[in-house]
Amino acid sequence: MRNLRLMTAGLAAMTLLAACGEQSDEPEEATEEAAGNVLLAEWTGPYEGVPAFDKMDLADLKPALEEGMAMNLAEIDIIAVNPQPPTFENTIVAMERTGRDLDRVFSFWGIWGANLSSPEFREIRQEMAPKLSEFNSKITQNQALFARIRAVYEGQEMEGLQPDQQRLTLLYYEGFARNGATLEGQAKERYAAINKRLAALHTQFSSNLLADEEGYVTYLSKDQLAGLPDSFIQAAAALATERQHEGEYAILNTRSSMDPFLTFSAERDLREKVWRTYYARGDNGDANDNNAIMAEILQLRNERVKLLGYDNYAQWRLENRMAKTPERALKLMETVWPAALARVEEEVADMQKIADAEAAGIKIASWDYRYYAEKVRKAKYDLDSDEVKQYLQLGKLRQAMFFVAGELFDFKFTPIEQGKVPVFHQDVRVWEVSNKTSGDYIGLWYLDPFARTGKRSGAWATSYRSHETFDGKETVLASNNSNFIKGTPGAPVLVSWDDAETFFHEFGHALHSLSSNVAYPTLNGGVRDYTEFQSQLLERWVFTDQVINTYFVHHETGQPIPAELVAKIKAAATFNQGFTTTEYLASALVDMLYHTVDPTGIDIDAFERQALLDLNMPEEIPMRHRSPHFAHIFSGEGYSAGYYGYMWADVLTSDAAEAFAEAPGGFYDKEVAARLVKHLFAPRNSLDPAEAYRAFRGRDPRMEALMRDRGFPVPPEGSNED
């Protein structure tokens, strides 16, 4: 049943939250409206059935949601009133079979929400979000249903189940118990009311953020392009033309556009304007301002967990994560924080020296950091980011990812002729994924690489269908989505080194889905501070010689990247780690602070400023995600009190990378790769993450590897242990 699986699956739960409506008050009419609705229909066609993305119509969405909800509730009722004694088969497995119709609707919903958003869709999302919450409450507060789940969880049958079946039962029990199933009376009603209100607030936060990203575009004239690379100028011109500003150059209010502009633009006043516009998203005192929304979200979250007996929201959130407690998560972050601050001080000093030598007459500010960091990079390492970019073609990077997937996972990616598989936009391409050795079909991989109006910023992965075998094998439909700037027609798309790592990162999520060997669909979920590990690990293959020497070729000459330039890249591997670590950790620490204090009457702006002051945050660096646009924690609950998870996962990443570095075959060692797939990718959430990691490494991860990776002083061995 997808809605309950998502309840334990992190950010996807809130991304798809508004996909569901409550059971219709007039089910007969809903059924009539939804008859023949493509969003509900079984998937047909090649590759064991694919979504009819070419036929999706927004007018079908509400009827599909309403009918799908009604069908799902009917399925739940059959399980709840079953007169037979509760068993794993007639309760837990039966739950796994429900919600298939809604699964299909969710796939289309995700496309509208992330890839093809529009004002019309956002109105539907805003309307349906609280209805979904009511729907979820009807299930999680179904006492008869919970009684059956608890009976299986606490019964004698549990001992005889297979390990994955035991974990599945545990996930169901926790999914209900941690979400209000144990409450009664007024507490039960209040819990449901809070969830309904939160659903509306999360959705409004997301809509406001997207409105600010779309609504604030900086247009430049030809005399304002000093310092910008030709490839960026061409892309900015194309973006302006697309927005009916022919002859101008558009800087979008997204990271993929802001970041390179701040890195290369020699116009300091424009850098400040673009910086302020970007970091003010959701904080402009207008109809899209998110401050009041955030305050209410925090207060409602705190009230809700108090109903369950927890001291604060973070305590509730981390209970079933790898960190277990807020204190353990904070301990990790606070161990790294001083080293990051010390490095920032060194980086700012280096930048100020260059600014002074140029007689710039400035003190390094936030909008100068990227620009002067690039100058320091050139001075220290003779490394020009734009020179590196000439060898990083998007198409070649994709080929490199396929190569790595073939070496580590034995996967083969074969492009599918356009038109054979329906897509939702002309930019989307599809590949068939098969096993190189056996030839067995595994699934499809969709790629939507380019930025456009209506597409949310950033990069992400999703799955339209996940692997399972308990009722016949289901193959995977995985997807990666990015916001690369397309540029002029026919020209290769050039990306930065950071963008190349992000591309590999998101592909790691797709490989995680494609590698699954779990029997039950719920087990394709994950533990939030663990699920980023696999994708972060895949970034390491960007640095391997096999990738660099084969796929990094100049976009004009076709010549491979020079060995001298590669040496510079590797020498600068830990460059600017003060900035990178500090901007991230500041957001993670503030997230944890928001969710461990009493938020009654909280003033978001004042709280953020005081929290950063208490942390001794360098004035030259902002949080990576300022609170009013911190979508990870305020547009849903997947990362709330959990943004630390990227660093927790990076401890695993650094430690696992050393396992490859120490192996005879290095990062392509077959024995280590086989262990990687067997223990860390294929099992998904069918076993405890700590147990899975020990099976791979033979021990628990060690934090020292993380510090070495970032070029920070290594703490005494064992200092990160409880």
CATH of the domain at 54: 1.10.1370.40
Q: What is the pLDDT of residue 31?
A: 47
Q: Within 13 Å and on the Cβ side, how many CA atoms surround 437?
A: 5
One domain for residues 98 and 235 = no
Whether the CB-CB separation of 445 and 428 falls below 8 Å is answered with no
One domain for residues 131 and 240 = no
Longest dimension (CA), the chain: 84
One domain for residues 151 and 71 = yes
Q: Which of 534, 556, 578 is the last residue of a domain?
A: 556
Q: What is the pLDDT of residue 36?
A: 86
Please classify residue 414 by burial: count the beta carbons closer than 10 Å to its beta carbon, then call 0-12 exposed, 13-18 middle and 19+ buried.
Answer: exposed
- State the residue for tokens 């990247």: 561
Whether the CB-CB separation of 179 and 140 falls below 8 Å is answered with yes
Query: How many structural domains is the chain composed of?
Result: 3
Q: What is the pLDDT of residue 717?
A: 61
Q: Which of 277, 292, 309 is the last residue of a domain?
A: 277
One domain for residues 253 and 152 = no
One domain for residues 400 and 548 = yes
One domain for residues 237 and 168 = no
- State the residue for tokens 């007024």: 186
Question: Integer distance in angstroms from the first to the last C-alpha of the chain?
Answer: 38
Q: What is the pLDDT of residue 23?
A: 29
Roughly what angle, to the nearest 10 degrees, separates helices 369-381 and 326-357?
Answer: 70
Q: What is the pLDDT of residue 13?
A: 34
Q: Which of 277, 299, 326 is the last residue of a domain?
A: 277
Residue 98 lies in a domain: yes
Whether the CB-CB separation of 520 and 8 falls below 8 Å is answered with no
Residue 434 lies in a domain: yes
Task: Show the tokens assigned to 22.
Answer: 């409550």
Q: What is the pLDDT of residue 132?
A: 83
Count of C-beta atoms within a 10 Å radius of residue 54: 11
Q: Which residues of 586-597 are buried (b: 16+ CB within 10 A; e: fewer)?
A: bbbbbbbbbbbb
522: domain range? Answer: 394-556
One domain for residues 159 and 241 = no
Which residues lie below 8 Å from residue 520, measured CB to CB, with a gap of 6+?
A: 93, 96, 164, 165, 168, 468, 470, 686
What is the 3 state secondary structure string of 657-707?
A: HHHHHHCCCHHHCHHHHHHHHHHHHCCCCCCCHHHHHHHHHCCCCCCHHHH
Number of H helices, E strands in the chain: 31, 7
Q: How far apart are CA 480 and CA 510, in angstroms?
A: 7
Q: How far apart are CA 74 and CA 78, in angstroms?
A: 7
In sequence order, what are the beta bridge partners of 477? 444, 465
Residue 677 lies in a domain: no
Q: What is the pLDDT of residue 81?
A: 97
Residue 351 lies in a domain: no
Residue 89 lies in a domain: yes
Which residues lie below 8 Å from residue 715, measured CB to CB, with a gap of 6+?
A: 335, 703, 704, 707
One domain for residues 158 and 262 = no
What CATH number should be reported for the domain holding residue 478?
3.40.390.10
Mean pLDDT by runs of 10 across the 722 residues of the chain is 40 32 33 73 96 97 95 97 98 97 93 95 92 89 96 97 98 94 94 95 95 95 97 93 96 94 98 98 97 98 97 96 96 96 98 98 98 97 95 98 98 97 98 98 98 90 96 95 88 93 97 98 92 96 97 97 96 95 98 98 97 98 97 94 96 97 98 98 96 97 94 73 44
One domain for residues 157 and 221 = no
Residue 31 lies in a domain: yes
Q: What is the pLDDT of residue 29?
A: 40
Helix (H) or strand (E) holding 275: helix 268-279
- Torsion-angle region of 495 (φ positive above 0: left; ψ -120 to 50: alpha; else: beta): beta
One domain for residues 229 and 130 = no
In sequence order, what are the beta bridge partners of 450? 484
Query: What type of residue sits at position 597?
Result: V
**How many residues would you count in the chain?**
722
Q: Cα 142 from chain centroid?
A: 31
In sequence order, what are the beta bridge partners of 654? none
What is the 3 state secondary structure string of 24-74?
A: CCCHHHHHHHHCCCCCCCCCECCCCCECCHHHCCHHHHHHHHHHHHHHHHH
- Compute the chain's Rg from CA coordinates: 25
Residue 283 lies in a domain: no
**Residue whose C-alpha is closest to residue 89's, from 21, 157, 4:** 157
Residue 287 lies in a domain: no
One domain for residues 170 and 261 = no
One domain for residues 167 and 270 = no
- State the residue for tokens 């008869």: 144
Q: How far apart are CA 272 and CA 149, in angstroms?
A: 56
Active site members = 506
Using DSSP bridges, classify how beta strands 441-450 and 460-465 pair: parallel, antiparallel or unpaired: unpaired
